[in-house]
């Protein structure tokens, strides 16, 4: 059985097993649980006390709570990843056995937060390093130990680069003479032009 929200692949077995556990919740509680899971996916912390209160009525054990959060997390994030619209997601979940009210409340939460989820996932995508800021300064060298009259302008650049894994920002500074800088600038302008041509 191929499902769009799993990227045209089979649905994982553990998600199928969780559907029956999720059906034990009422659809109102399901919606509140979905809101909590979306908060977690968007990077805010999940409020576990609220989750326990919601699941206490359905008498979930500790393992069930974790499994239901994991299943909802998978469904919402993978549907956002493959850009499935709310209607198709609702149909596919009903095919898996989730009752109609639960599917519709899940899909309503999904549709409301789809653009936020996709923006967050775009931010979380693989990045090697990021330019945090660039600073510059132009100096005029009067003389040096080698030559008495130098009279040369020079630019000093400092790029602050952020490493996405550790979050550290390392500064990289270097100097350039005017000619080299002219070359550097023209190369970057060409690259900018190619990028501009691509922008859809």
Partner 1 sequence: MLLVLADEHKEHLGFLNEVDVEVVREFCRIAMEFIRSGPNPKLYQSAAQKLSVASETVQHGVEGLMFLLTEAARYMISEIDFQDSIMTLGFSEDLRSLLLQLYLDNRTEIRTILSEMSMDLPHYHNLEWRLEVTVASRTLRHQVTPRLMMKLHTQDSGEKDVQVLQTDPVNLLHMTRVLEGALAEMKSTHCRRIVRNIK
Cα distance between residue 79 and residue 83, in whole Å: 6
Q: Which two tokens stand for residue 153?
A: 């302008």
Task: Select from 128, 146, 149, 179 the one that contacts partner 1 (CB under 8 A).
Answer: 128
Cα distance between residue 79 and residue 73, in whole Å: 10
The single-letter DSSP state of residue 9 is B
Terminal-to-terminal C-alpha distance of the chain: 35
**Is there binding between residue 200 and partner 1 (CB under 8 A)?**
no
Least distance CB 145 / partner 1 (angstroms): 35
**Is there binding between residue 125 and partner 1 (CB under 8 A)?**
yes
Least distance CB 113 / partner 1 (angstroms): 23
Task: Select from 165, 168, 189, 196 the one that contacts partner 1 (CB under 8 A).
Answer: 165
Q: Which of 134, 118, 125, 135 is nearest to 164 (CA)?
A: 125
Name the one range near partner 1 by CB under 8 A: 63-71, 72-80, 83-91, 124-132: 124-132
| Residue partners of 163: CB distance under 8 A and separation at least 6 | 129, 169, 170
**Is there binding between residue 187 and partner 1 (CB under 8 A)?**
yes
Contact 129, 169 (CB under 8 A): no
The single-letter DSSP state of residue 42 is T
Task: Select from 62, 122, 126, 199 the one that contacts partner 1 (CB under 8 A).
Answer: 126
Nearer Cβ to partner 1 (152/187): 187
Least distance CB 105 / partner 1 (angstroms): 32
Task: Select from 50, 131, 191, 192 the one that contacts partner 1 (CB under 8 A).
Answer: 191
Judged by the rule CB under 8 A, the positions of this chain that interact with partner 1 are 125-126, 128, 165, 187, 190-191, 194, 198
């Amino acid at each position: 059985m191929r499902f769009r929200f799993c990227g045209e692949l089979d649905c994982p077995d553990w998600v199928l097993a969780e559907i029956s556990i999720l059906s034990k919740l009422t659809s109102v509680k399901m919606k509140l649980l979905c809101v909590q899971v979306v908060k977690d996916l968007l990077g805010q912390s999940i409020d576990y006390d609220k989750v326990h209160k919601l699941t206490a009525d359905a008498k979930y054990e500790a393992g069930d709570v974790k499994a239901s959060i994991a299943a909802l997390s998978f469904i919402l994030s993978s549907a956002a990843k493959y850009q499935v619209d709310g209607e198709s997601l609702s149909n596919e979940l009903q095919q898996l056995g989730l009752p109609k009210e639960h599917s519709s409340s899940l899909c309503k939460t999904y549709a409301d937060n789809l653009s936020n989820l996709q923006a967050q996932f775009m931010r979380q995508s693989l990045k090697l390093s990021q330019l945090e800021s660039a600073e510059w300064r132009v100096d005029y060298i009067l003389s040096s130990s080698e030559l008495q009259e130098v009279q040369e302008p020079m630019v000093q650049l400092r790029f602050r680069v952020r490493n996405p894994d550790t979050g550290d920002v390392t500064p990289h500074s270097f100097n350039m003479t005017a000619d080299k800088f002219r070359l550097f600038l023209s190369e970057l302008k060409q690259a900018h032009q190619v990028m501009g041509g691509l922008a859809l």
